[in-house]
Structure 1
């Protein structure tokens, strides 16, 4: 039996920790202490010199005050102005206080939050402020990104090239193209590990490329403010330090004109933001990219322009407890505010489907746990009578969700797309990360079909769900919902069929739903 007796050294350590805790607790009132996340409090107890913290203010903007009769662009402009004014009014006093003490910080208006590095004494003072709602941690965490299965070094290798990749064909995108709809006049964005923008399948589709010159203003933002082996800090041009981001955007829009048709919406334009440092994210990085998305800035981070926001954002990442999303609600304000700006927000369900018995209730991480996101499961290439959903794909139900999640499935197993190794490299990856950009591309095709869908992500989501194909996922039942009942927590409403959704969207447009087309 192991002794439970404390040694002399352990007793001294315990006494020291108790004394530190007593000091901090004595300095904080019960009300102030309740605002401090336990992880931040632990750092304060250690008297760390530079504690990364997200300061959440009490005031929030109310999207219900927006005029539903305005055009989508007018609503977005008003929403951004409301978010900015709310933050400016509430943060001014604290920012002046921080400036006077030369404390490093970064302010975000999308969630009325300030990121800062400060010592325990400073955080004690912040917790005592009536305008501060919470002090949350901002730790780094490595996302579990898919590993490549095979890489095609040359775009001209006939053994590997398929004219249209299997996932693109599976959701019937070519049938939409045949009707003249390829995503034209639609902008898709990605938030990921960055992008090799000059890849042969991506360059012509990049909004910052005019055929001669690259202009990264309003088309690229880097939320990583530290240098790594592959990318500079605050990289002035798109850079991918992992390959994951280049792969996902290739599934959205990729086409090199030489037989590599990897993208669902090759006529759309794309922009991007790097929210992970070689796969390592933090809540502050995710928030920064989402803020940039609803009002892109120039390369100096100035002059935000909500009119240049994308119509669709693909999100193949997740923020879990070890990354700072302890309650799961740390990013909900940012995601909700992106969608309130009229932007369709697709999110990967996660790859934890085999992590527990039966894989049920394994959608753990933000943003896939939020009602405002369109949550995507992964389907396999060879659908059989026994199963068509990837074993790794996370399943619902999600506690507290307003509807059954995931929303739908899309091809995510063995997906070939562009890769960052060179301008002609392609790789095959598996994950809900690969399924999500199929949905983002499908959303772009629908918006191109019916421009009145711009600014109406809820209607785009309804089109995708209502026309999805019910595929066989075996007999697996999660949350007490049978596999034959739709939607269900395994595949949602089924695998998306963008051609079926296109026909509905086209009919609606032809029947006269176009009142919001003009700005």
Structure 2
């Protein structure tokens, strides 16, 4: 099998001060507004297919419901999914770090995390491991799969596994990739992010512009913050164990914002005031895209725009103040 290369962060920064914050990216997509309504991802199971996770991290230990190792690390023991790289722990923190008045808070702070390790210490793994992890996630009846990884070469077995997940109404969220050249008219593809069946996530910075590293192509669905994202990091990989956090940049950091947001949307859509039922993968995708706002960037850079969870509410309020005059059509 061809090797699959993890989307190494475009940039990494050590944090040297105590952390107690709702990260800017979590705020920017309006996640706290959903928490206020009681939607925090409770009951939603998210599989993180990555480098593993530090399950002792104070912000994550209550979120992790299990895991499995598909790599050669620890002599291939399936029960040991320790993160020796840091990438997977960072992704997990953005998705679901617990709201515990210290450290950081994830987008869906009450979601359940299933940690599936497919990338080793070096950040590399095999497509077969990723494929096996997806099939395992399907068996475990997860609601969402988050993959901040990619290979330059398409893989038919990986694609078939993704199709099986989507058929089971599992939302598959993937990083677009970090090989961007700053030219939106040229395509850069990473797989599985380049497959139409997945939700492909590009990055923007906090000023709403596209960073040079974010891949551009016609399959990008939406963008979220992916520059200087503060999140969890393994205690064994930071200078000070009392500050187990780092700032990373990359589409790998944008992707978990969407995975967490989908958990909030599942809570929201299933409540009795809304649909009061489970939605299909296609219906949930539509609900996600309804909550994007174009930034004026090329479609290959931003897809449908930035994720903004309160977009529908704000549009409703606008039309209350500025009703549409339908009389002109009579």
Tell me the TM-score normalised to structure 1 length: 0.55
Deviation at residue 360 of structure 1 after TM alignment: 3.4
1:222/1:236 contact within 8 Å kept: yes
Q: Look up the match of 1:441.
A: 260
Q: What is residue 470 of structure 1 aligned with on the other side?
A: 294
Q: Distance in 2 between matches of 1:372 and 1:465?
A: 15
1:292 paired residue among 136, 140, 145: 136
The structure where strand makes up a greater share of residues is: 2
Q: Once the 2 structures are TM-superposed, how far is the Cα of residue 223 of structure 1 from its aligned partner?
A: 0.7
* Structure having greater relative contact order (Cα 8 Å, sep ≥ 6): 2
Which of residues 163, 167, 171 is equivalent to 2:29?
A: 171
List alignment gaps of at least 5 residues for structure 1. Answer: 1-137, 208-218, 297-308, 398-404, 474-482, 505-519
Unaligned runs of 5+ in 2: 271-275, 316-330
Question: 1:198, 1:288 → 2: CA distance?
Answer: 25
- Whether 1:183 aligns to 2:64 is no
Which residue in 2 is equivalent to 1:425? 244
Matched, 1:223 2:47: no
Structure 1 360/329 Cα, relative in aligned 2: closer, same or farther at 3 Å? farther
- Computed over aligned residues only, the root mean square deviation of the Cα atoms, in angstroms, reads 2.2
Kept in 2, the 8 Å contact 1:311–1:455? The answer is: no
CA drift of 1:139 comes to 3.0
Once residues 177 and 150 of structure 1 are traced to their aligned partners in structure 2, the CA distance between those partners, rounded to angstroms, is 29
Partner of 1:74: none
Determine helix, strand or coil for the equivalent of 1:271. strand
Deviations 1:175-229 (A, max 9, x none): 111111111111112000111111111011122xxxxxxxxxxx211111x23xx
3-state SS of paired residue (2:149): coil
- CA gap of 1:197–1:336, structure 2 versus 1, over 3 A, is same
Query: Any idea what the Cα deviations from partners look like across 1:271-330, whole Å, max 9, x if unmatched?
Result: 11011122112121111101100003xxxxxxxxxxxx2111111001223xxx3xx544
CA shift in 2, pair 1:240/1:456, >3 Å: same
Distance 1:248 1:426 in 2: 12
Q: How much does 1:361 deviate?
A: 4.0
Which position in structure 2 is the counterpart of 1:351? 178
In 1, distance between residues paired with 2:203 and 2:135?
28
Whether the 8 Å CA contact 1:416–1:426 is kept in 2: the answer is yes
Shift of 1:352: 1.5
Partner of 1:245: 88
Q: Which has the larger radius of gyration?
A: 1
Report the equivalent of 1:360.
Answer: 185
- Cα offset for 1:349? 0.6
Residues 163, 144 of structure 1: alpha-carbon distance in 2 compared, 3 angstrom cutoff: closer
CA distance in structure 2 between the partners assigned to 1:453 and 1:319 by the alignment: 36
User: Where does residue 394 of structure 1 map in the other structure?
Assistant: 215
CA distance in 2 between counterparts of 1:182 and 1:189 reads: 17
Kindly indicate whether the alpha-carbon contact (under 8 Å) linking 1:378 and 1:435 is maintained by their aligned counterparts in 2: yes
Question: Aligned partners of 1:502 and 1:445: how far apart in 2?
Answer: 15
Q: Is the CA contact 1:331–1:366 (under 8 Å) kept in the aligned structure 2?
A: no
TM-score by length of 2: 0.85
